[in-house]
Amino acid sequence: MKKPYVPFQLPNNELLDINKLINKVIKANTDIAIYNEKLKSSRIRPELLLNLLSLREAIESTKIEGTQVTMDEMLDYRAEKKGPNSDIAEVLNYYEALEIGEELLKTLPISTRLIKRVHEILMRGEVRGKGKIIPGEFRTSQNFIGPKGATIENASFIPPEPQLVNEYISNLEKFINEETETDNLIKIAIIHAQFETIHPFSDGNGRTGRILVPLYLFEKGLISKANFFVSESLEKDKFKYYQLLNNTRVVVADKEDNEVQYNKDMQRVKENFTEWIEFFLKACIDQAAKNIDKIDKINILYEETITKSRNLVRSSGIQDVIDIIFEYPIFTSNTIKERLKIAPATLNGYLKLLVDAKIIYSDGKLRNRKYFFYDLINIIR
Please name each of the domains of the chain with its CATH number: 18-289 (1.10.3290.10), 313-380 (1.10.10.10)
Which pLDDT score is estimated for 45?
77
Name the residue with higher pLDDT: 289 or 226: 289
Most confident of 125-134, 147-156, 217-226: 217-226
Band the pLDDT of 148: cuts 50, 70, 90: confident
pLDDT 10s digits, 352-374: 999 999 999 999 998 889 999 99
Which pLDDT score is estimated for 262?
95
Which pLDDT score is estimated for 330?
95
Helix (H) or strand (E) holding 33: helix 22-40
Provide the 8-state DSSP code for 145: B
Q: What is the chain's length?
A: 381
Instruction: Indicate whether 128 pLDDT > 70.
Output: no
Distances (CA, A) of 38 to 294, 311, 323: 11, 28, 18
Contact 73, 88 (CB under 8 A): yes
Sign of the dihedral through C-alpha 118, 120, 124, 128: positive
Among 362, 325, 335, smallest CA distance to 80 is for 335
Task: Summarize the confidence of residues 126-135 as an average pLDDT.
Answer: 70
Which pLDDT score is estimated for 223?
93
pLDDT 10s digits, 245-275: 999 999 999 999 999 999 999 999 999 999 9
pLDDT 10s digits, 224-240: 988 888 988 888 899 99
245 phi-psi bin (left φ>0, alpha ψ -120 to 50, beta other): alpha
Helix (H) or strand (E) holding 330: strand 330-331
Band the pLDDT of 1: cuts 50, 70, 90: low
Task: Summarize the confidence of residues 208-213 as an average pLDDT.
Answer: 95
Band the pLDDT of 282: cuts 50, 70, 90: very high
Amino acid found at 261: Q
Which pLDDT score is estimated for 52?
82
Whole-angstrom Cα distance, residue 335 to residue 324? 8
Band the pLDDT of 63: cuts 50, 70, 90: confident
Which pLDDT score is estimated for 19?
94
Based on DSSP, count helices (H) and strands (E) in the chain, helices before strands: 15, 3
345 CB neighbour count, 10 Å cutoff: 8
Helix (H) or strand (E) holding 93: helix 86-104
User: Mind giving me the DSSP string for 233-289?
Assistant: HHHHTHHHHHHHHHHT-PPPPPTTT-HHHHHHHHHHHHHHHHHHHHHHHHHHHHHHH
Whole-angstrom Cα distance, residue 244 to residue 337? 49
Query: What is the rounded average pLDDT for all residues in the chain?
Result: 92
Whole-angstrom Cα distance, residue 45 to residue 319? 12
Contact 302, 46 (CB under 8 A): no
pLDDT 10s digits, 74-86: 999 988 877 788 8
Whole-angstrom Cα distance, residue 129 to residue 204? 8
Contact 214, 208 (CB under 8 A): no
- What predicted TM-score, i.e. pTM, was given to this entire model? 0.92
Which pLDDT score is estimated for 130?
53
Band the pLDDT of 129: cuts 50, 70, 90: low
Task: Summarize the confidence of residues 43-63 as an average pLDDT.
Answer: 81
Task: Give the count of alpha carbons within 13 A of 237, CB side only.
Answer: 15
Band the pLDDT of 306: cuts 50, 70, 90: very high
SS3 state of residue 157: strand
Helix (H) or strand (E) holding 62: helix 46-64
